[in-house]
Chains A and B, each alone.
Chain A
Amino acid sequence: MNIKQYIDSLFSSYEETDSLADFKEELESNLNARINSLRKKGLNEQAAFDKAITELGDVSTLADELSLKKRQEVFSDMYMKTRHYMSTWRIVLYVLCGAVFGFGVIVSVLSGFFSGDVNAPLGSLLIFGGIPILGFLFLGLTQETAVHEAMSWKRALLYVVAGGVFLFGVIAFLITYFEDNAGLPIAIATLIPFILPSLAFGVFLVLTEKDRSKPWVIRQRKEYMERSQKRFGDPVQQERFGLFSGALWIAAIAAFILLTILFGIKFSWLAIVVALIGQMIVLAMFTKSR
């Protein structure tokens, strides 16, 4: 193991900061000088390395100072502090949604047992399962967290509408398929009025979403970008790679649905395979031209 690798391994669990990088360089040149002087005294390479390492001592306290936080702690900071943003009425609503959801599951299972058909449990699931899920969606989106600002309630409501229509579409599909025994093609046809538009609307909402990250997250992301830019070169290329891949998969999913309607599931899976191959080609193209 060379000195640089050794030093990197010492600090591998720490967030790289400017002052830490600075310290690592200082450490490296000093260790090198020490090893050279020990070798001049007649120690072999390994013995000199081992002695220098022993003389170094424990670096963890220093690293704690220089790096501010271990990576782990950064993560816990980002994700564990949600409770600071939790008001009482929100907690009540979360619990209420959970309770209604549990109630819905029990009712639908029971009604399934007693009535013996699929319609009754699906119906109760649509109401008692769907509503709390949409409730969770609304609460989740309007929830301020350590990393995100809250979404405005109007926009969250649009998501809820899209989600509601989508859920209704799923249930309609299941009912058409199981209850009416109408066969897969007709069941899939029910995707068109509900699932497809709600999906499209949902995608539209997601794509027009503005960044709600908190300032410190944006700052950290920028730092990360700058560092990865140094390592990987052109960020524009990476962005274009992402756009290409996105377009490829949207086309693939559209083709999948269309082929399922026209020719059945027997052939439509090929669309996914083609997309996978396309994805690999795109990746190969971008890594080559980088």
Chain B
Amino acid sequence: MEPKLSSDLLRGHTDTIVLRCLLKQDRYGFEIYNWILERTGEQYELKETTLYSSYKRLEKGGYITSYWGDKTQGARRKYYHITEKGRELYRQNKLDLEFTQRIINDLLKEEEY
């Protein structure tokens, strides 16, 4: 049996993934999309609209801010920047996820049988 990447499972963590992607530097949509594709070995069938919804949601909550970059090659790019509140959310989500992963692992363990 081959392991498959569960896109549904991953989609639930889009916000956290986006925040992680912005930790080190500001990025624009295509960069973020590419960053995720590369790290998932292009196996994740990510829809861009999922990302856009995430940006809007995060921006509304004050976790990221956005600004228009200078014109390069004829088009303006919209960059996203993580705020301090966003970093905090990232850390919290990461802790929650690690904790949950441990519990799931415990629940699915086969040794007890």
Interface residues, chain A, with chain B CB atoms under 8 Å away: 22-23, 25-30, 32-34, 37, 55-59, 61-62, 65-66
Q: Is B34 an interface residue (CB 8 A)?
A: yes
Taken together as a complex, chains A and B put the C-alpha atoms of A230 and B83 apart, in Å, by 36
A-B contact pairs, 24 of them (CB 8 A): A22-B78, A25-B78, A26-B29, A28-B75, A29-B30, A29-B77, A29-B78, A30-B28, A30-B29, A30-B33, A32-B75, A34-B30, A55-B46, A55-B48, A56-B48, A57-B47, A57-B48, A57-B50, A58-B47, A58-B49, A61-B49, A62-B53, A62-B56, A65-B56
Per-residue interface assignment for chain B, residues 41 to 76, with 1 indicating a CB less than 8 Å from any chain A CB and 0 otherwise: 000001111101100100000000000000000011
> Which 8 A-B pairs rank lowest in CB-CB distance, beginning with the nearest?
A57-B47, A29-B75, A33-B30, A30-B29, A57-B49, A26-B78, A30-B30, A56-B48
Number of interface residues of B (CB under 8 A): 17
- Closest B-chain residue to A66, C-beta based? B56
Per-residue interface assignment for chain B, residues 12 to 48, with 1 indicating a CB less than 8 Å from any chain A CB and 0 otherwise: 0000000000000000111001100000000000111
Query: A59 and B49 in contact (CB under 8 A), knowing A30-B33, A34-B33?
Result: yes
Give the secondary structure class of B's interface.
Answer: helix
Taken together as a complex, chains A and B put the C-alpha atoms of A29 and B77 apart, in Å, by 6
Q: How far is the CB of A266 from chain B (nearest CB, A)?
A: 65
| In the complex, chain B residues whose CB is within 8 Å of the CB of A25 | 76, 78
Contact indicator B52/A23 (Cβ below 8 Å):
yes
Q: How far is the CB of A46 from chain B (nearest CB, A)?
A: 19
- Closest A-chain residue to B32, C-beta based? A30
Q: How far is the CB of A165 from chain B (nearest CB, A)?
A: 60
Contact indicator A56/B28 (Cβ below 8 Å):
no
Contact indicator A37/B75 (Cβ below 8 Å):
no
Q: How far is the CB of A39 from chain B (nearest CB, A)?
A: 14
Contact indicator B77/A56 (Cβ below 8 Å):
no
Taken together as a complex, chains A and B put the C-alpha atoms of A175 and B88 apart, in Å, by 87
Taken together as a complex, chains A and B put the C-alpha atoms of A96 and B46 apart, in Å, by 62
The CB with the most chain B CB atoms within 10 A, among A25, A33, A55, A59, is that of: A33
| In the complex, chain B residues whose CB is within 8 Å of the CB of A27 | 52
Q: How far is the CB of B42 from chain A (nearest CB, A)?
A: 11
- Closest A-chain residue to B60, C-beta based? A65
Query: A56 and B47 in contact (CB under 8 A), knowing A28-B75, A29-B76, A29-B77?
Result: yes
Contact indicator A55/B77 (Cβ below 8 Å):
no
Contact indicator B48/A30 (Cβ below 8 Å):
yes
| In the complex, chain A residues whose CB is within 8 Å of the CB of B78 | 22, 25-26, 29
- Closest B-chain residue to A59, C-beta based? B49
Taken together as a complex, chains A and B put the C-alpha atoms of A26 and B76 apart, in Å, by 8
Contact indicator B52/A62 (Cβ below 8 Å):
yes
- Closest A-chain residue to B28, C-beta based? A30
- Closest A-chain residue to B47, C-beta based? A57
Taken together as a complex, chains A and B put the C-alpha atoms of A103 and B70 apart, in Å, by 73
| In the complex, chain B residues whose CB is within 8 Å of the CB of A57 | 47-50
